[in-house]
Chain A
Amino acid sequence: MTQEFSVVGKRITQVDTAAKATGAARYTTDIKLPGMLIGRVLHSPYPHAKIKKIDKSKAEKLTGVEAVITIDDTDRTLWARSFRDMPMAPSGSLQRADEYILADKARYVGDPVAAVAAVDEQTADEALDLIEVEYEKLPFVLDPWEAMKPGAPQIHDYAGNNIAVHLTPPPFLVKGDVEKGFAESDVVVEESFFASKQVGCHLETQACVASVDANGKITCYSPCQLAHPFRRELGKIFNKPLGMINVISPFVGGSFGTRLSCHNEPICIALAMKAGKPVKLVYTKEEDFTCIDTRTPHYFTIKMGFKKDGTLNAFTVHTTTWSGGYLSRAQLAGGITLVWALGHYRCPNTDGWCDVVYTNTTLSGAMRGFGNPAVMWGVEQVMDMAAEKLDIDPLELSLKNVKHAGEMANLGLPIESSYIDDCIREGAKRIGWKEKRGKRKGGRARRGVGMATMTHCSGAWPLLIEHSNAFIKFNEDDTISLTVNPGSPGTHIWGTLAQIAAEELGIRVEDISIVTGSTEATMFDLGSHASRSTYVTGNAVLEAARQAKAQLLERAAKMLETSPDELEVEDRQVYVKKAPEKSISVADVCFDAIWNLKGESLNISGKSSWASHYNSVPTAAYFAEVEVDTETGEVKVIKFVTAVDCGKAVNPMTVEGQCEGGIQQGIGYGLTEDYVINKDTGVVESDNFTTYKMPGTLDMPETEVIIIDKPDPKGPFGAKGVAEPGLVGIAPAIANAVYDAVGVRITDMPITPEKVLAALEAKSAQKD
């Protein structure tokens, strides 16, 4: 059944774009408060060093300097930038608080050691030069494999062999007997992979503006995606009740998951406390590359066993997760790789484990897809390898093994809806799969096509609570305020939520004012992560709108002398369903409700606390066509097709935007973005856009986004999440296309020309 919509499904222009197109939009880096000081941070130049002594007296004496802080100016409270003690499901996923806001011992190059606040940036920089730190350099380890060896430098006292935690899959993903399963398989493929330390590359660098008022109340402007959980962590760090902290989220110049963690905010607040004045702390791009979370890198060994007919029979994943000097989100990112991998395909025998290993490197956190793009880089290449061995088209092998509605999804709940078959078939048509696949030719420039699939999530339930609130109030006309706090990372979530409210209330999107961005003015919202906001906050908005609508119709029924269930609202008119000529405008109803001379005044409103008790998984299929230059090893993506099943697309233009952006990030992940750490010094060498190559306009292929657009039973108006699915399977589809073109398989991300050439040479040597 297709539902008719008046607002949902329309390509509506976004509510916040005029401000962004005119320069009026205010980001954290634009905030200026009266008397505001400028903060700067002194970072460790060494990857591992004892901090024996810090002399800050010269810096403090410099004219214009108002605060200099080290660990001695703090409470020495351990904190977790990814937030601790969030009630979570079992399997060891609680996050350990393992760092101080200023280091006791340097554990990576860039570890914050001291900070200053001064009247201007120049003075602050001069003050940094005057801080004298006596380091005792310690042996360091950059590589997780080296870090696990006996005798490796110990980074945290509690973690023997630097293993922070050993994780196993949730019980529902440990099935059957994998040894027996592999023994009874006809084809077994086992391969090892590396998925890299991708950088978020949001253009707005990490920033914070903090002030502390005379009563000790903290106001913190921050780009953090999870404002309410972040406030709770600040309460623990600074020992304050939550009512004494307000986190304000201005526009955010890109998030992509790395802003799930907070970064320099606690330092900024500590400076503001010490100085007694507002402080602004903005990282440079080099600091961004060195001192804030990257995507968590992992090494995988993936083994899949199949019956002759292609039925997947046994599946194991072993993950070695490369954490930085502190955990940030590495623990969660590692554990979840098992869930994404083992939950995607139907398989009777599954198992895995994950070790999370500290190293003296920049922290490993979240980035778009949170472990799914990393592990699917391996899983989808193993599928491609198996298809060749089985002599089955990879497309058919996927179709045979992907799960469908009713089967248990990755997070342990039934799949509410899945149109992944449609994604695979439609995507294949648009790339020209049948005509192009397996047609390897000679010559210098060789073309090939490859594919990948994935299942993701709409929020993290049941691993984590998925709780959002929405409040709707009608003004004394036909406009409303919608109070929500999902953040504003650029995904156009405000517009999506406005479309949901407008659809239910029979009003226009432009009549909705979004009230958001302050933890003290909004009710709880977990924030923006795990492709949740359309689904979870969207359901909260829909429920609030239903309540407001019920009040509206009740008032209108009195005025029209009928009963509410006889009424409907559309195009800002309430009318009698059976006699549409009998109607009253929404504006008249709302005016009468407030300016009521009979003493029956009511501000028409609706409020909903909504928590997920199910999880509708989005699915997608990705198809790449590439051209490989066999003389230079260069890989060029010619065309990319993403076919996505995100339920009903609330705004197709927004969905396309998410998928097109995902293609850029995926091409970077697969081909060009290479995080390079100097082996002798631990210094990040790829700390700018010249050495760390994120794709520009000229690196983008022709793209096509196919939206399957079939409603899900649980999403608001049938919508599922879509932000992360835009990225998940891009890189493995490219790797599989490279194999189709030239017959070499690159398992070590990214696919650089050097690796392709070396593989081609090894291949031709093998032939000789």
Chain B
Amino acid sequence: MAEQMVKFMVNGRSYEIPIEPHMTLVEVLRDKLDITGTKLSCGAGECGACTVLIDGKLALSCLTLAMTAREKNILTIEGLAEGGNLHPIQKAFIEHGAIQCGFCTPGMILATKALLDENPNPNREEVKEALAGNLCRCTGYVKIVDAVLAVAEEIRKGGS
């Protein structure tokens, strides 16, 4: 299939690369750009491991054709820390023991960012609902939800 040149931003950096129309965003990120923090697991939109943010909105990169990200801003887990400082969500996941094998973590953290950008004051049920599309086999989600609630409070306090 004919490749097409596609331009987009990933983590604040501009890329212009040839892409075959059938390629998914996760394939382009991982295989073409070597940005491997985004994980591929089910490949069918069931597990959330491949979650990224496109123009700030949550997207499953295994179901997103890379062509459709043309001219858009993509945020992956690698783009979250700023100037070597971990994002508060990353810190909270680390400090609350919310990370075990770590394979779901990039997706969980980005899904958390999408949640908190929209709703800075979620309750436990709202956090569980927001993360219902992100599967984890290690943690039982308990410390993940704890971490999200704690960082929400911290951001509210710090941001006010």
- Chain A 186-208 near chain B by CB (<8 Å), digits 1 or 0: 00000000000000111111000
Q: Let me know if B140 and A662 touch, CB within 8 A.
A: yes
Which residues of B (49-83) have their CB < 8 Å from a CB of A? Answer: 49, 76-78, 80-81
Given contacts A688-B44, A696-B132, A698-B128, 12 further A-B contacts (CB under 8 A): A11-B97, A18-B86, A21-B94, A23-B38, A202-B101, A203-B47, A203-B103, A254-B137, A254-B138, A285-B43, A664-B136, A697-B129
Which residues of B (76-105) have their CB < 8 Å from a CB of A? Answer: 76-78, 80-81, 86, 90, 93-95, 97, 99-105
**A24 at the A/B interface (Cβ < 8 Å)?**
yes
**Cβ-closest chain A residue relative to B128:** A697
Q: Let me know if A285 and B137 touch, CB within 8 A.
A: no
Q: Let me know if A697 and B86 touch, CB within 8 A.
A: no
Which residues of B (121-151) have their CB < 8 Å from a CB of A? Answer: 127-129, 131-145
Say whether, besides A17-B94, A203-B135, A698 and B129 are in contact (CB < 8 Å).
Answer: yes
Cα distance A30–B77 in the bound complex, in angstroms:
15
Cα distance A218–B137 in the bound complex, in angstroms:
32
**Cβ-closest chain A residue relative to B141:** A697
Report the stretch among A484-492, A609-617, A678-686 that lies at the interface: A484-492
- A27, A202, A490, A703: which has the most chain B beta carbons within 10 Å? A490
Say whether, besides A21-B90, A22-B81, A204-B39, A694 and B137 are in contact (CB < 8 Å).
Answer: yes
A interface, size bucket: 35 or more
Cα distance A65–B152 in the bound complex, in angstroms:
51
Tell me the smallest distance from the CB of A122 to a CB of chain B, in Å. Answer: 8
Cβ-defined partner of A284 (8 Å) among B43, B127, B135: B43
Say whether, besides A285-B44, A688-B44, A697-B132, A251 and B101 are in contact (CB < 8 Å).
Answer: yes
Q: Let me know if B140 and A661 touch, CB within 8 A.
A: yes
B97 contact set on A, CB distance < 8 A: 11, 13-14, 653-654, 656-657
- Chain A 694-716 near chain B by CB (<8 Å), digits 1 or 0: 10111010010000000000000
**A660 at the A/B interface (Cβ < 8 Å)?**
yes
B86 contact set on A, CB distance < 8 A: 18, 21-22
- Chain A 235-263 near chain B by CB (<8 Å), digits 1 or 0: 00000000000000001111110000000
**A663 at the A/B interface (Cβ < 8 Å)?**
yes
Which residues of A (154-172) have their CB < 8 Å from a CB of B? Answer: none
**A62 at the A/B interface (Cβ < 8 Å)?**
no
A698 contact set on B, CB distance < 8 A: 128-129, 132
Q: Let me know if A204 and B103 touch, CB within 8 A.
A: yes
Q: Let me know if B132 and A253 touch, CB within 8 A.
A: no
Q: Let me know if A661 and B137 touch, CB within 8 A.
A: yes
Cα distance A285–B49 in the bound complex, in angstroms:
12
- B30, B95, B142: which has the most chain A beta carbons within 10 Å? B142
Q: Let me know if A700 and B140 touch, CB within 8 A.
A: yes
B154 contact set on A, CB distance < 8 A: none
Majority secondary structure of chain A interface residues (helix, strand, loop or mixed): loop
**Cβ-closest chain A residue relative to B41:** A203
Tell me the smallest distance from the CB of B21 to a CB of chain A, in Å. Answer: 13
Q: Let me know if A17 and B99 touch, CB within 8 A.
A: yes
Q: Let me know if B140 and A20 touch, CB within 8 A.
A: no
Majority secondary structure of chain B interface residues (helix, strand, loop or mixed): loop
**B109 at the A/B interface (Cβ < 8 Å)?**
yes
Q: Let me know if B140 and A30 touch, CB within 8 A.
A: no
Cβ-defined partner of B105 (8 Å) among A21, A30, A657: A21
Q: Let me know if A205 and B41 touch, CB within 8 A.
A: yes
- Chain A 462-492 near chain B by CB (<8 Å), digits 1 or 0: 0000000000000000000000000001111
A211 contact set on B, CB distance < 8 A: none
Cα distance A252–B39 in the bound complex, in angstroms:
12
Q: Let me know if B102 and A251 touch, CB within 8 A.
A: yes
Cα distance A19–B103 in the bound complex, in angstroms:
11
Q: Let me know if B101 and A22 touch, CB within 8 A.
A: no
**Cβ-closest chain B residue relative to A16:** B102
Tell me the smallest distance from the CB of A139 to a CB of chain B, in Å. Answer: 34
Say whether, besides A13-B95, A657-B138, A689-B46, A203 and B109 are in contact (CB < 8 Å).
Answer: no
A32 contact set on B, CB distance < 8 A: 34
**Cβ-closest chain B residue relative to A199:** B137
Cα distance A698–B43 in the bound complex, in angstroms:
22
**A398 at the A/B interface (Cβ < 8 Å)?**
no
Cα distance A660–B109 in the bound complex, in angstroms:
19
Cβ-defined partner of B100 (8 Å) among A27, A201, A492: A492
**A29 at the A/B interface (Cβ < 8 Å)?**
yes
Q: Let me know if B36 and A26 touch, CB within 8 A.
A: yes
Say whether, besides A14-B94, A23-B36, A656-B143, A201 and B137 are in contact (CB < 8 Å).
Answer: yes
Q: Let me know if B43 and A13 touch, CB within 8 A.
A: no
Which residues of B (6-43) have their CB < 8 Å from a CB of A? Answer: 30, 34-43
**Cβ-closest chain A residue relative to B144:** A697
Q: Let me know if A688 and B137 touch, CB within 8 A.
A: no
**A33 at the A/B interface (Cβ < 8 Å)?**
no
B77 contact set on A, CB distance < 8 A: 21-23
5 pairs, A vs B, C-beta closer than 8 Å: A17-B102, A200-B137, A254-B101, A688-B46, A697-B129
A30 contact set on B, CB distance < 8 A: 30, 36
Cβ-defined partner of B143 (8 Å) among A25, A253, A657: A657
Cα distance A759–B44 in the bound complex, in angstroms:
36
Cα distance A285–B45 in the bound complex, in angstroms:
12
Cα distance A580–B137 in the bound complex, in angstroms:
49
Cα distance A687–B77 in the bound complex, in angstroms:
28
Tell me the smallest distance from the CB of A517 to a CB of chain B, in Å. Answer: 15
B141 contact set on A, CB distance < 8 A: 660, 664, 696-697, 700
Cβ-defined partner of A24 (8 Å) among B37, B40, B103: B37
Which residues of A (3-19) have their CB < 8 Å from a CB of B? Answer: 11, 13-14, 16-19
**A690 at the A/B interface (Cβ < 8 Å)?**
yes
Cα distance A25–B105 in the bound complex, in angstroms:
11
- A13, A252, A663: which has the most chain B beta carbons within 10 Å? A13
Cα distance A255–B133 in the bound complex, in angstroms:
21
A254 contact set on B, CB distance < 8 A: 101, 103, 137-138
**A665 at the A/B interface (Cβ < 8 Å)?**
yes
B44 contact set on A, CB distance < 8 A: 285, 688-690
Cα distance A205–B140 in the bound complex, in angstroms:
19
A689 contact set on B, CB distance < 8 A: 42, 44, 46-47, 135
Cα distance A492–B127 in the bound complex, in angstroms:
25
Tell me the smallest distance from the CB of A536 to a CB of chain B, in Å. Answer: 21
Q: Let me know if B37 and A203 touch, CB within 8 A.
A: no
Tell me the smallest distance from the CB of A256 to a CB of chain B, in Å. Answer: 7
**Cβ-closest chain A residue relative to B102:** A20
A696 contact set on B, CB distance < 8 A: 132-135, 141
